[in-house]
Chain A
Amino acid sequence: MKLKRALLLAIITIATVLTGCEPLAVLDPKGPQAEVQANDIVMSIWLMSGIVIVVFAMLAYMLFKYRASKQKKDYEPPHIEGNIWVEAICVGIPVLIVAFLSFVSVQSNYKVEATPPGYEDKEPLVVYASSSNWKWHFSYPEEDIETVNYLYIPTDRALEFKLYSFGPITSFWIPQLGGQKYAMADMVTTLHLAADHPGEFMGRNANFSGKGFAENTFDVTAMSPVEFDEWVEEVHKTADPITEDKFEELLEPGHLGKMTFTGTHLDFKPAPEGENSGHQHHHGSNDDEEENHDNHEENEDHENHEDHSDHSGH
């Protein structure tokens, strides 16, 4: 009995901690896509809680009512094969619930895979977000700007992120703006997001990618279109242009602070889409290929070296 009380106490503690906290990031959406997802999540939590309560209640009832200690010594439980109606209900209700959830799920799928409603009037802002161990590179082809580890976005336009990776599979995730999507080396994936209000958000790589994974984060700042334009202008005035050599340096494994450049790496190192995709036959891109290969070897040397120094450090 003592233990049951302890269990109850634990549940109450959890509940208090829960209510005392700030809202959870995913359930505190700041954009239309995150809102769709948060609504689905909250709705399914309620629905599932209902199921959990039904099961708990049935279990409690059975355990309470049919305990051996509550029955006569000579009571012999009956043989019950099953009842077609009872079983039909046990199948029917879950089928209805799953059908309803499927309906919602399919609808939401099409919502999160498209430009969010209310933003169709303007062309979406295209940002190429590429990851390398363990950084994020954001290229704004339209604005001709490239940043590292931070992202400025306007609130009046939909955002179309083109994701790819210069290494392991990573996952681009800004919880308060919407769910994540993978960035891979041999193709480009597209993530549709939008920010409703100005604010600062956490963004990160959510997919394990090796030693520096935990710190593989970036800051997101949503701002009014005017501020955004000002920022673009300022970058063009103050920042250095990105060069191929500089970019290769950035790609080397490790962590970097925030950086800003004019121009984008897409000019000299195009994203793996269209004819540069890893799954197509290569026509005349042999040079690129070889370059890639050289880089890998360099990286490897670098890592070996690093490992070695780690080794001696211990």
Chain B
Amino acid sequence: MKIDHSLPLEYSTEQSRLRILGFWIFLGAEIMLFATLFASYFILRNGTGDGPSGAEIFEITPVLIETLLLLTSSFTIGLAVHAMRLGNKKAMMAFFGITLVLGLAFLGVEIYEFAHYVHVGAGLQTSAFTAILLTTLGTHGAHVTFGLFWGLFILIQVKKSGLTPETTNKSFIFSLYWHFLDVVWIFIFSFVYLKGMM
């Protein structure tokens, strides 16, 4: 495997450059996925049938906590990549770990939020609005869950084999993914919650 030392470690082999570009393209597809969900959400927003509307069920506190947790985790994964570039394995692993813990906390609050919705009578089957709301949030939540396992596996690999072209490449790609989920959340926060509560 040819290693180009003039580039950051995660870009240093041909294959890792391909992976990063491929992942960017994948994120392009993910943007379309969430864009479709958002478009459907705006179309079905008023389709509340006999069920509650957004304003009736949204609670600001858990949403703010979720936002705070996810934004912070996006910051810490950035720090992890920074530490990785400096070759500081320990700091990198620490920030990476904090990211995952924050992600887990986010997921916990989201599960509470879902339980709340079901409790107030806004389940998946209640109306088209609740269905698209829970599907959009659920798709994001499923991405976070997937990310948690993925991140954990990468963390284990970094611990085992250190900062190699392979592990740094994986970590970097994971950071792209995590930032992307954060961006999606910002859209959810502004267009689903804030708009819904107004």
Contact = CB atoms under 8 A, between A and B. Distances in A.
Interface of A: 279-282, 286, 289
Which 3 pairs, one residue from A and one from B, show the smallest C-beta to C-beta distance?
Answer: A282-B50, A281-B48, A286-B50
B46 interface: yes
Nearest to A186: B47
Contacts of A279: 46-47
B121 interface: no
Contacts of B49: 282, 289
11 contacts: A279-B46, A279-B47, A280-B46, A281-B46, A281-B48, A281-B53, A282-B49, A282-B50, A286-B50, A289-B49, A289-B50
A282 B53 CA distance: 12
Contacts of B47: 279
A291 to B, nearest CB: 13
Given A286-B50, A289-B49, 9 more contacts: A279-B46, A279-B47, A280-B46, A281-B46, A281-B48, A281-B53, A282-B49, A282-B50, A289-B50
A286 B51 CA distance: 11
Size bracket, chain B contacts:
under 10
A279 B50 CA distance: 12
Interface in B26-85: 46-50, 53
A286 B46 CA distance: 17
B9 to A, nearest CB: 45
Most buried by B among A280, A281, A286: A281
B117 to A, nearest CB: 19
A155 to B, nearest CB: 41
Contacts of A289: 49-50
Contacts of B50: 282, 286, 289
B29 to A, nearest CB: 30
B46 to A, nearest CB: 7
A286 B48 CA distance: 13
A280 B47 CA distance: 7
Contacts of A280: 46
B53 to A, nearest CB: 8
A279 B42 CA distance: 12
A289 B49 CA distance: 9
Contacts of B46: 279-281
Contacts of A282: 49-50
A186 to B, nearest CB: 9
A280 B50 CA distance: 11
A242 B35 CA distance: 48
A282 B49 CA distance: 6
A281 B46 CA distance: 7
B56 to A, nearest CB: 12
B181 to A, nearest CB: 32
Nearest to A285: B50
A289 B127 CA distance: 13
Nearest to B44: A279
Contacts of A286: 50
A118 B103 CA distance: 69
Nearest to A280: B46
A267 to B, nearest CB: 24
A282 B50 CA distance: 7
Contacts of B53: 281
A123 B53 CA distance: 41
Interface string B133-167: 00000000000000000000000000000000000
A289 B48 CA distance: 13
A62 B48 CA distance: 63
A286 B50 CA distance: 7
Interface in B75-127: none
A279 B49 CA distance: 8
B147 to A, nearest CB: 36
Nearest to A289: B50
A45 to B, nearest CB: 38
A94 to B, nearest CB: 31
A281 B53 CA distance: 9
A170 B53 CA distance: 31
Interface string B6-25: 00000000000000000000
Contacts of B48: 281
Contacts of A281: 46, 48, 53
A218 B123 CA distance: 43
A280 B46 CA distance: 7
A282 B48 CA distance: 8
A203 B36 CA distance: 38
A285 to B, nearest CB: 9
A237 B48 CA distance: 45
A145 B30 CA distance: 54
A293 to B, nearest CB: 11
A140 B48 CA distance: 32
